[in-house]
Amino acid sequence: MNESNPTGPLIPPQIPTPPSPGHRTDRPLGELPDERETIPNAVAAIEAILRQPRRVMYQLRQPGAGGLIAGMLFVAVLCSVVYGVGVGTFSGGVQLWAAPIKTAGGLLISALICLPSLYIFACLSGSQARLVEILGLVAGLMALMTILLIGFAPVAWLFSQSTNSLAWMGTLHLIFWGIATVFGLRFLNADFSHTQARSNAGLNTWTAIFVLVVLQMTTALRPIVGTADTLLPEEKKFFASHWVECLKLPKPAARD
Amino acid sequence: MNSASASVGPSDFRILLEGQAGKLLRWTQPGQTRTVWLNVAAIAIGAGLYGGAMGWWRDPLQGLYVAIKFPLIILLVVLGNALLNSMLAPLLGLNIGFRQSFFAILMSFAIVAAILGAFSPLVAFLVWNAPPMTPDVKSTPTYGFIKLTHVAVIAFAGIAGTVRLFQLLTQLGGSKTVARRVLFAWLAGNLFLGSQLTWIARPFIGSPQLPVVFLRDTAFQGNFYENVFRTVAGLLQFD
């Protein structure tokens, strides 16, 4: 039964549009009460990094931020492993367990390699951030990246079931990784802007380094998508030359 | 009993088609389970009828298959991208939850399906008047005309659904810029997944040389984008 509403159409109050994570704002962190709410666990951390990035940024600057950092690292590892299983379904077999380990391990090693340089660049830029805050920045970057990758996982899985082309799947994963990285770096950039850094030049340089390191990691830990006789490569290669070789691989058998 | 939920019924298709944003916003609130079913029903019936008309030209059985596949593709796109779309919205400045983003997309597809359903008698009439499929059908003007009709109808329904989704997103976020950004991201994701699902679920119109099947044996071999790439590459080689 349709009931008439005497008070007219019920229109819920407008949801205020928050600034996007990449949006710079001069408003100090923790100004709003909801930003000061603690983030109790990893699930809340996922929710917060997607919807209330400023809350994460504020909490990373509070005493006892170690728990939040650990939570975000846990989320990053868990999500990488889940996405890695999706990557491994293309080849199956050994890759079902090797790809998740390589995906999660590669991301963690890349972050570890790049962490000192981010700290140095931050200091050179005049940032007041402590090492633990920088670690928090990187943990947030990885968490957001990998959470987004989980969103892409169903699409990646569908394509992995319907193609034999290694080049195609590799490209697809790179595109998904690229999109996730853009959003992760937006978070990092927004957070960095609250560290009183005088310039972003150092951060921009570090961003380029981080992207190169992760791209090279995909070659250093190959095969991740396809298969090989050994779990790790025996030959050293630059990622660009490896990818060019992959694109030149023979095409799959012709289909009707 | 939830009175808002109980008030939902077939007559509320009007709300859906008119895009009454205020009422549609209420549908996205918790406890509106019946509105989900209303939208799913709209997709199943609307897209199903259109799919039936589309496949009927080849064979009534093909019509039945397409009537099942077409709504299934739409629902799989909504479900497959639900998580990604709910993550992209807040990251692009629209702070809505999983439920709201899911309902918004479901509603837009329900509008598309309702329009398709409304056009299905016209398409069925067109197919009924068309000569039977012959092996050389693809070279005939009839085939081209029917294909173009499908493109025009589906494009019209898609545009209408997109416009309604944009209006709803603007209401949800209060900003056209943010709504446009989110809409573009959602459309890109849905188009990407939808193209591949459609590729897997072929045939739709069918071909007289091939048997009537639900899915081809080669359904999971190759993908839509590889095919497009090879076609373009073949054209550029001028062989």
Question: Residue B183 above 70 pLDDT?
Answer: yes
End-to-end CA distance of chain A: 55
B137: left (phi over 0), alpha (psi -120 to 50) or beta: alpha
Looking at the structure of chain B, the number of domains it has is 1
Chain A contacts in chain B segment 4-43 (CB below 8 A): 6-7, 9, 11, 20, 22-23, 25-26, 29
CA distances from residue B59 to B53, B120, B148, B212 in whole angstroms, order as listed: 10, 16, 20, 7
Q: Give dist(CA B130, CA B16) in Å, integer.
A: 34
User: Residues A158, B197: contact at Cβ < 8 Å?
Assistant: yes
CA distances from residue A68 to A58, A59, A119, A191 in whole angstroms, order as listed: 11, 8, 19, 15
Judge: B223–A151 Cβ closer than 8 Å, yes or no. no
Give the rounded percent of residues in chain B with a pLDDT score beyond 70: 94
User: Residues B219, B201: contact at Cβ < 8 Å?
Assistant: yes
CA nearest to B12, candidates B36, B29, B48, B31: B36
User: Residues B119, B50: contact at Cβ < 8 Å?
Assistant: yes
CA nearest to A141, candidates A80, A86, A229, A216: A80
Average confidence (pLDDT) over B139-152: 87
Q: Which of A1-15, A126-140, B123-137, B206-220 has the lowest mean pLDDT?
A: A1-15
Question: Residue A4 above 50 pLDDT?
Answer: no
Name the residue of chain B whose CA is nearest to A186's CA: B91
Question: Residue A136 above 90 pLDDT?
Answer: yes
Asked if B129 reaches chain A (Cβ–Cβ under 8 Å), the answer is no
Question: Residue A23 above 50 pLDDT?
Answer: no
Asked if A159 reaches chain B (Cβ–Cβ under 8 Å), the answer is yes
Chain B residues in contact with A1 (beta carbon < 8 A)? 6-7
Q: Give dist(CA B128, CA B145) in Å, integer.
A: 14
Question: Residue A250 above 50 pLDDT?
Answer: yes
Top residue of A55, A163, A164 to mutate, by most chain B CBs within 10 Å, is: A163
Query: What's the domain range around B186?
Result: 3-237
Distance of CA A188 to the CA centre of its chain: 10
pLDDT reported for residue A21: 45
CA angle at B168 for the pair A23 and A3, rounded to the nearest 5°? 140
Q: Between these two residues, A150 and A5, which has the higher pLDDT value?
A: A150
* Residue B135 confidence class, pLDDT cut points 50, 70, 90: confident
State how far residue A234 is from chain B, nearest Cα, in angstroms. 31
Beta carbons within 10 angstroms of residue A243's beta carbon: 18
* Residue A111 confidence class, pLDDT cut points 50, 70, 90: very high
Total number of residues shown for chain A: 256
Average confidence (pLDDT) over A174-186: 95
CA nearest to A51, candidates A78, A12, A19: A19
Chain B contacts in chain A segment 55-84 (CB below 8 A): none
Nearest-CB residue to B23 (from A9, A14, A256): A9
Name the residue of chain A whose CA is nearest to B86's CA: A151
Token couple for A197: 């850094």
CA nearest to B172, candidates B158, B159, B160, B186: B186
pLDDT reported for residue A134: 92
Asked if B237 reaches chain A (Cβ–Cβ under 8 Å), the answer is no
State how far residue B1 is from chain A, nearest Cα, in angstroms. 13
Judge: B3–A150 Cβ closer than 8 Å, yes or no. no
State how far residue A43 is from chain B, nearest Cα, in angstroms. 14
Q: Which of A1-10, B80-89, B107-116 has the lowest mean pLDDT?
A: A1-10
Question: Residue B13 above 90 pLDDT?
Answer: no
CA nearest to A73, candidates A110, A113, A108: A108
- Tens digit of pLDDT for each residue in A49-80? 999 999 999 999 888 889 999 999 999 999 99
Asked if A155 reaches chain B (Cβ–Cβ under 8 Å), the answer is yes
Q: Report the amino acid identity of residue A190.
A: A
- Tens digit of pLDDT for each residue in B39-70? 999 999 999 999 999 999 999 999 999 999 99
Token couple for A249: 């691989």
Judge: B22–A11 Cβ closer than 8 Å, yes or no. yes
Question: Residue A5 above 70 pLDDT?
Answer: no
State how far residue B165 is from chain A, nearest Cα, in angstroms. 17
Asked if A1 reaches chain B (Cβ–Cβ under 8 Å), the answer is yes
pLDDT reported for residue A1: 36
pTM above 0.90, yes or no: no
- Residue the block writes with tokens 């959602």: B186
Q: How many CA atoms lie within 13 A of A178 on its CB side?
A: 6
Question: Residue A139 above 90 pLDDT?
Answer: yes
Q: How many CA atoms lie within 13 A of B5 on its CB side?
A: 10
- Tens digit of pLDDT for each residue in A195-220? 888 888 889 999 999 999 999 999 99
The complex's ipTM? 0.73
- Tens digit of pLDDT for each residue in B89-116? 999 999 888 888 999 999 999 999 998 9
Chain A contacts in chain B segment 165-224 (CB below 8 A): 171-175, 178, 189, 192-193, 196-197, 199-200, 218-223
Question: Residue B30 above 80 pLDDT?
Answer: no
